Amino acid sequence: MTAPFEVSGTDSGPAPSHLTTTQQQRLRSLLFEQLEVQRAALEEHDETLDGATHDVVDAAVTSERELAAAFVLFTRDTAAELLAALARMDAGSYGRCEGCGAVIPYERLEALPETRFCVSCPRHGGLFG
Ligand SMILES: [Zn+2]
C-alpha cells in the first residue's frame, strides 16, 4: 500500500480526509452516546455483582453473577474501544482500517463508530459482527 495516512499541515487540524466535518461531529456524538450507554450498563451490572439479587435459587444467583461479570468485562472492553476511537479521531487516524489501511466508509462508521477494520478484513467487527 502506498497510501500513508498523513495529516496535511495546511489543514486547521487533524482530520480523516474522507469524512466531512459534519460527519465527524456526528460520529463523535455517536461515540459519546454509546460511551454513556456503556457507563450506565456498567453501573447497573456492578450493582448486580454487589449481590443485589432476591428471590432466586443459589444456582441462578451464581449464573446471574457470572453473566454480570462477563457483561462487565465485555462492557469495559467496548468502552475502551469507544475511547480509543475518540483518541484516533483526535489524532486524525480515525476511519482507517487497521488491517489493510483502507478508508472505512461513513455508513459503516455510523453503524459501528468504534470499529477499527473495514468489512473486507477478517478481523472486522470483533464485537458486534
Ligand atoms: Zn481492511
Q: Identify the helix (H) or strand (E) that includes residue 37.
A: helix 21-49
The CA 103 to ligand 1 mean position distance, Å, reads: 8
Least confident of 41-50, 56-65, 77-86, 100-109: 56-65
pLDDT at 1 over 60: no
Alpha carbon of 99 to ligand 1 centroid (Å): 5
Q: Is the pTM of this model over 0.95?
A: no
CA 42–ligand 1 middle distance (angstroms): 31
Phi and psi at residue 84, to the nearest 5°: -65, -35
Q: What is the DSSP letter of 104?
A: P
- Tell how far the Cα of 4 is from the centroid of ligand 1, in angstroms: 14
Report whether 117 contacts 101 (CB < 8 A): no
Quote the percentage of the chain above a pLDDT of 70: 72
Tell me if 109 sits within 8 A of 27, measured CB to CB: yes
> What are the backbone dihedrals phi and psi of residue 12, each rounded to the nearest 5 degrees, phi first?
-75, -20
